Structure 1
């Protein structure tokens, strides 16, 4: 029994209540029992931000909706987001200026969220500086366990490219926020490593969980049960991946990687980890690289193709067959973002759902991979950030409008008092229909 904890029933629960066991501490989702403490001044529904990066641009004519404002209709590639049509915004006509002297693919990735204007080369020719996610994390982290999470689904074992092709988060010029790629490592970082004799994190904290459950009302008991089920689900996915990985390794001494073989499952378990970290307020800022730029290694898109495909090479292959394959890859990636929105919408907080209190951004640092175009970058945002960002709008901009205008607007929405960001020329009015 955990003798260091006072009875849950003796007081209103703090938002920082943890379930504890041998060597681990697990935060809780928002429960009604926390309301009295929040009314007394504890934080209510913090803002959360996440950026999801996809490489090599998109097939533009299948991506961009034809109509603008609130009358827009889902394009073929965006069909997986049909359920969330009124919870998202689509931005088209946003650009970035390429700085010559560095790789076009490398700069597309590493400078997507950079705070350095293209005229500055602070990192060996690359215009990188502190990225937007890190700037916002410093503002809103609120003493969370992790100021930010940086994750990547780049499981390629060959080092074909440099860090600039797979890094979107930077502490400063040249200082990459190295992303974690193994779901097991991310899980251990969030919750600590339980007693090795225990097969499950939940086994370690279950005694504390049962004590808490006895003090809760029916609604909170149901929420706690759903939360514990979601943690168990992530554990089981990782354990399943480890079992498969162990079978592939010749040496029984090699620690299993914990990376699922199925591409979609790999991405989804990373999304699950971000969602749980947001729900428990372990972090409020996250980035996820779905795949690095240019990495010319074929990969399997399970459930989409019967054989591995080279995403980058397809962008430089002419013909309808290559274009159709690219569109299917784009739609596959969008479907993983739709899964993220489902998870965020399914989890509650004091102001409603996690999606309501968040701003999730999905996009690429390249517009059209076939011509290495930095114009018309594909960008989607989801969530209304406590009503600060009205949704259901297709914002289309004429002329050259820097994507940094959107980043500046996001920084201001996070409460950062700043008048410019990178090469921004102004802000985007997130509350109104677009200028054209």
Structure 2
């Protein structure tokens, strides 16, 4: 008799200490690709927001001007917004990682958060607008659609991911997955002070949600069911994993029984699923754990990337190797793997990944060196001053490309994962946004070509959930960025038409 499984089936190990979730299989669906246990509806929709703590251009540099290696250059194609609108536009430097996915996302540009250029007082901030003090003034209107009235790194209303999480509350094992790849703040004498929060269930400090910064602990929570709180239990689990005793070994008998009773297509999906879980285990083992509460993991016996120290000096021109960087590249990659697997297993349908923090002082030296154009600056100062020989649009766009590469990586994994008659990407809405645009300075309300700007902003909307229109460049006439968020939210099943104080969507992208 053919095996029929419920959508939320787990393989539970001996003693019940380990549970491994399964992807969507044909034996969970009816002939139309719907969930078998429901016999109606469709595969679940997913929603994710990825964020980069940088602007789109450099201070006092026009969008086509920059300096590399001491040589000043004027060249188009590096600013994120393509010259052409609609389909068939020319890919810009930041969008290059998405070249093979151009039909799976759209870019929305020329958006702006309103502010009062003639009155900087808190009472003069318009609805959905920014208090005139960057960086803190732009956060709330960008993420929650609610005006800011002071320069605090907080949101005055729920963020889009939490609105979507409310829709699915109780339907999945985890309400949401909230992660951050950048670990320390990296600026000596300072800490994140609110810059590390991307998700707010309600407005204010009480509503903010702590992000998981340890890929290892996120993995253990998602795929083995618990992170032990006492040191002895943590040590035993750590020893088992590092001795390469996979969690898959602990459910091997049940795994083999399921494999023997499903069709060939499901066998292939399951084997691939198990291979990816094992690959994640091996990759995570190479990253040093971050302590969570009283849970302490034993250090890996091999060479581990370390948590970087604070940058020297002011973070521009005097950055040195080994400071201000904790291998955020690999951390972000593993976190994308975790989002992918959590979506595939229907452990959660909502995720956020803060690749870098607001006002990020992560060193760009390691990443820019990998690109072949080393810059001795941190991400924040790269937008302002760069270093002596490297300034302006090119290096800003290079780091933006690095951020977008993680977004592209997640999109490709979701696209490559079959679900029903399509892929997981077909049932997902994915947003990428940065902290700032490139226009008039928010603080003085007038200086042009500023990084501290909420004008000329852009967002990427990917996936095909809800008939989201992709493959387009939409240049708006100053739409609010939250209208792009609302578009993605509606694609993911949100029936409202507002977020915070902002109403409406990007009509060109509504299917």
Pair 1:344-2:414 in alignment: yes
> Which residue among 168, 171, 195 is the counterpart of 1:140?
168
Aligned to 1:303: 370
Aligned to 2:222: 190
Shift of 1:272: 0.1
Aligned to 1:211: 257
Deviations 1:57-76, CA, capped at 9 Å, x for gaps: 12355211010011322112
Shift of 1:371: 3.4
Pair 1:221-2:267 in alignment: yes
3-state SS, counterpart of residue 334 of structure 1: helix
| Matching of residues 37-436 of structure 1 within 5 Å | 38-39=35-36, 41=38, 44-59=42-57, 62-98=79-115, 103-109=133-139, 111-118=141-148, 128-141=156-169, 143-156=171-184, 160-174=190-204, 175-191=207-223, 192-193=225-226, 196=237, 198-199=240-241, 200-242=246-288, 255-256=298-299, 262-298=327-363, 300-301=366-367, 303-304=370-371, 309-317=377-385, 321-323=390-392, 324-368=394-438, 370-386=450-466, 388-398=467-477, 400-431=478-509
TM-score (norm 1): 0.85
- Structure 1 contact 109–164 (Cα < 8 Å) conserved: no
3-state SS, counterpart of residue 359 of structure 1: strand
RMSD of aligned alpha carbons: 3.0
Structure 2 CA distance for partners of 1:102 and 1:432, relative to 1, 3 Å = closer
Q: Which moved more, 1:413-422 or 1:274-283?
A: 413-422
- Structure 2 contact 411–425 (Cα < 8 Å) conserved: yes
Q: Distance in 2 between matches of 1:255 and 1:97?
A: 50
Shift of 1:430: 4.5
Q: Distance in 2 between matches of 1:219 and 1:125?
A: 49
Q: Distance in 1 between matches of 2:36 and 2:133?
A: 52
Q: Which moved more, 1:68-77 or 1:108-117?
A: 108-117
Aligned to 2:309: none
- Structure 2 contact 140–147 (Cα < 8 Å) conserved: no
Shift of 1:55: 1.0
- Structure 1 contact 90–381 (Cα < 8 Å) conserved: yes
- Structure 2 contact 159–200 (Cα < 8 Å) conserved: yes
- Structure 1 contact 180–186 (Cα < 8 Å) conserved: yes
Q: Distance in 1 between matches of 2:19 and 2:160?
A: 30
Q: Distance in 2 between matches of 1:413 and 1:220?
A: 28
Q: Distance in 1 between matches of 2:250 and 2:81?
A: 49
Deviations 1:54-112, CA, capped at 9 Å, x for gaps: 01212355211010011322112211110001111000011113556675123434543
- Structure 1 contact 132–411 (Cα < 8 Å) conserved: yes
Q: Which moved more, 1:317-326 or 1:270-279?
A: 317-326
Q: What are the ranges of 5 or more consecutive residues in structure 1 without an aligned counterpart?
A: 1-8, 247-252
Structure 2 CA distance for partners of 1:259 and 1:383, relative to 1, 3 Å = farther
Structure 2 CA distance for partners of 1:358 and 1:141, relative to 1, 3 Å = farther
Q: Distance in 1 between matches of 2:334 and 2:51?
A: 16
Deviations 1:301-334, CA, capped at 9 Å, x for gaps: 2723667641111111178722232222112122
Q: What are the ranges of 5 or more consecutive residues in structure 2 without an aligned counterpart?
A: 58-62, 64-77, 116-124, 228-235, 307-325, 439-448
Structure 2 CA distance for partners of 1:376 and 1:142, relative to 1, 3 Å = farther
TM-score (norm 2): 0.74
